Amino acid sequence: MQRNHLINYMSDVQNFEKNMSTLSGKWDLLTLLGSMSNIGMDTSETRKAFEDLLDEPLLRLIEETFNKSLNELESKAQTAIDILIRNLFERTADIGFLATDDDIRDYLLFLHSADMSASEEMREIKIKKKEALTGRFREYVAKYSVYENIILLDTKGKVLVQLDSANPITHSKDPLIQESLHTYQGYVETFSSSDLTHQKPSLIYSYRVSNPETEEPLGVLCLIFRFENELQSIFRKLTRENPYIALELLSPDGDVIASSSAHHVPVGSYLSPRNNADHQTYYAGFEYLYQAVKTTGYQGYNGTGWIGHAMVPLHLAFRSSSRPSFLKNELFDSVANAKVYYPQELKDILEKAKKIQSELDITVWNGNVQIANAIGHESPFTKALLSEISKTGEETKRVFDHTVANLNSAMMVQYLEDLKFQSSLAIDIMDRNLYERANDCRWWALTTTFRECLSHINVSEEYREKMNSILGYINNLYTVYSAMFIYDREGTIVSVSNPSDNGIIGKKVGYSWAMETLDLKTTQEYVVSTFEPSPYYSGRSTYVYNACIRNFNEENVGGIGIVFDAESQFEAMLNDTLPKDEHHEIPEGMFALFIDRSGRVISTTTALIRVGDVLNLPVSVLELTPGQSDAQIIPFGGVYYALGATCSNGYREYKQSDGYDNDIIALLYRPIGEVQAIEAETPLQRVYTYPKANGTEETSEISTFFVGGSLFAVESKNVVCSLAHQELTSILHASEYNLGVISYDKRMVSVISLAKLLGMEKKYDKESDTIILVKAVIEKQVVYLGFAVDAIYSSPEIPLRSISQYSNVLKNENSLTKAVIIPDNAEDFGN
């Protein structure tokens, strides 16, 4: 897909193009000067090869820059809509359960049977019952703080009881009343303006309250969700690190029903609910990059078709970000810059650039050899030109190397940023889920039947059956619990939700959390067990949520324990946050964990790690403050992983103001590569500074090359040329130093391994090694011989005074004696 029109907004891409444009100007000049030189040096092919290769990193850089911004928009839009849908899924269960509440039913049955022309005494009874039900609503909202009001109406729309005393509504004509009375579904979900909520757009969950014996509708119950409050909480968290992004919730038709920036994108405005090919749009006179997504749903629930929408001004979408603080860990640079971890396409770019430069090096090196062998004095202009061509080629390759390294680092940063974000999503899902669990135990502890039955010192079989029936009904509705039980004031279990658990009835709860529950002072308090193996969860580790049950004299008479299905629920949360590929599969090697502050595993998605294992993790991860996120590269099991981590911070009052303290950390791992694969990558060649000759000194031209990392040289006038990518033909019974022969200038030339002559074990590599052809006169015949070397280097002009004490060595054409170049300064050969 073409993105070239976006380059004006991409500073990193512009910098790359600027560098390449500067180099292109140099190549233009060098090509012109080369054609004028006495050796006819033509660099046009080299320049074209570099320019053709330029398209690959340029397009990759554009795509990576574009995708980084688009992916950020998509993840935030997806998270906003999916988090909301998860929350609303819980609400669909709330209304169905609360509509069967005995206290609400009894109040409606009382009104149906009461004499409307009754005495003052009857009116006082009605007032007391209404006040009691209002108090029960107050208790409910104190625990489920996602609701702002609860309204009970009769079948004609008359308001009977509501929590919000400031709401003036006395009679409603909202169509949801009739729909709630006649629906075959388990709830009615309505988002619209309503006379129940001062005509403001509201999200209301409603359902009929029926006579339990005749199923005749007695009234309609409405739960008013704190819609705007909840959306702003979600938006605020998602835009905290990038305030330039605007988040919206759209209707299926594209109308804005919630906005993170109401002044910028007002509620009621219109945005496209469908992405075009470029994900670009105009809004309020500006260009934007945007992403619109539908919910992935939760347990079959997809809401009302709302769309998550995220947008950012185009001129801010691709701005260069500063180096993230979490990349300070020492492993990042070494791993991100190790070519072994580059994607294959980046390795291919580097290999192509290296090949172009290698061919250019050979051309320049051979050009210098040609000058040294020319009749008469060499041209200083041509030699300087060759040097500049070589430098420009190296500079061009460095730009490619730097760009590819930056691309890989940017990809690694993106991995870490994504994992950091996904870990925050995982822990947020956990906190929101367990918030509901803390609410459930406290609300169910207020069940009138439980309070009545436990008021008696001895629980009869009749009372037990009543409680068992209610617990079973609740447990069937709320499948996130594996079991529920009730214990009396002595801590003895008297009722269970599953008939299979009848064997524990009459046994004492032998855990301190039961005694702590029986000592609670208010109905707002609760107790959670530590995460530990539990006999109520088949010996597996879990949390048990507890609340005290009080009689009508406000005395503690027992407690309710609800056993969270931790194994399946936590694993599902983690799997939901792991990224999926186009086949909806989790990428190979990725996994996620929940751990506590000691590093003990609470939940895992990999068979490599078990619940209860204690991991050796960096202190920076284990000591994250609540709500803090981190990302870094760590080794685990012989593999380097990109790691994202976030510590829990609670949700609403849960873990923030309710007295419960239990920090959990979500971890997401993405494999990078085996630890053994990384090696210190040192360049084959160092930069050497040669002795400089003054204007009157006698000099010698030498051609240098590398063998085994050491620099060697041969006098240039004895060199024929250097050759690359040569196929060798082996010779039967040849010595171990003789690698084979090649054909050159209608001659068969033997190739000797200099590495083996120097005692090194090295095989010839056609793709990387170079063959240097040298010539010698033997019995008046010119003989060619090839030497396999690692790489050619440079062609300096050395003063004879610097060629050891045997300065006559190079004058003797038949001598094979080695010579040593003495540098002018001791540090010249070491930099």
DSSP annotation string for 726-752: PPPB--TT--TTEEEEEEETTEEEEEE
Structure tokens at 445: 């502890």
Asked whether the domain spanning 445-568 has the same topology as the one spanning 67-321, the reply is yes
Does the pLDDT of residue 25 top 80, yes or no?
no
| CATH code given to domain 699-830 | 2.40.50.180
Q: Return the axis-axis angle of helices 102-113 and 120-143, rounded to nearest 10°.
A: 160
**pTM for the whole thing?**
0.85
Cα–Cα distance for residue pair 100/301, rounded to 1 Å:
22
Within 10 angstroms of residue 795's Cβ, the number of other Cβ atoms is: 24
pLDDT category of residue 684 using cuts at 50, 70 and 90:
very low
Average pLDDT over residues 373-398: 70
Strand partners, 282: 287
Structure tokens at 31: 């090509």
pLDDT category of residue 52 using cuts at 50, 70 and 90:
confident
Question: Phi then psi for 459, rounded to 5 degrees?
Answer: -85, 115
| 356-385 pLDDT, tens digit each | 777 777 777 777 777 777 755 556 677 777
Does the pLDDT of residue 809 top 90, yes or no?
no
- What is the total residue count of the chain? 831
Does the pLDDT of residue 341 top 90, yes or no?
no
Structure tokens at 214: 């005749």
Structure tokens at 81: 């809509």
Does the pLDDT of residue 348 top 60, yes or no?
yes
Buried b (16+ CB within 10 A) or exposed e, 746-775: eeebbbbbbbbeeeeeeebeeeebbbbbbe
Q: Quick one: pLDDT at residue 816?
A: 44
Structure tokens at 33: 């000067």
Lowest average pLDDT, out of 64-68, 164-168, 250-254, 381-385, goes to 381-385
- Ordered by start, the domain boundaries in the chain are 4-66+332-418, 67-321, 445-568, 699-830
| 694-742 pLDDT, tens digit each | 767 788 888 888 888 888 888 888 888 888 888 888 888 778 888 888 9
Lowest average pLDDT, out of 45-49, 272-276, 352-356, goes to 45-49
Does the pLDDT of residue 1 top 50, yes or no?
no
Mean pLDDT of the chain: 87
Which one is the CATH code of 67-321: 3.30.450.20, 3.10.20.310, 3.10.129.10, 2.40.30.10?
Answer: 3.30.450.20
| 185-200 pLDDT, tens digit each | 999 999 999 999 989 9
pLDDT category of residue 825 using cuts at 50, 70 and 90:
low
Closest CA to 597 of 661, 693, 657: 661
Q: Cα angle vertex 217, ends 216, 223, to 5°?
A: 150
Report the percentage of the chain scoring pLDDT > 90: 53
- Whether 689 and 828 have beta carbons less than 8 Å apart is answered as yes
Question: Phi then psi for 573, rounded to 5 degrees?
Answer: -60, -45
> Beta strand 532-533 with 541-542: parallel, antiparallel or unpaired?
antiparallel
Does the pLDDT of residue 640 top 80, yes or no?
yes
| 472-510 pLDDT, tens digit each | 999 998 999 999 999 999 999 999 999 999 999 999 999
Cα–Cα distance for residue pair 422/412, rounded to 1 Å:
15
pLDDT category of residue 4 using cuts at 50, 70 and 90:
low
pLDDT category of residue 775 using cuts at 50, 70 and 90:
confident
| 116-137 pLDDT, tens digit each | 556 777 888 888 999 999 999 9
Q: Quick one: pLDDT at residue 349?
A: 82
The architecture that CATH gives domain 445-568 is 2-Layer Sandwich (3.30)
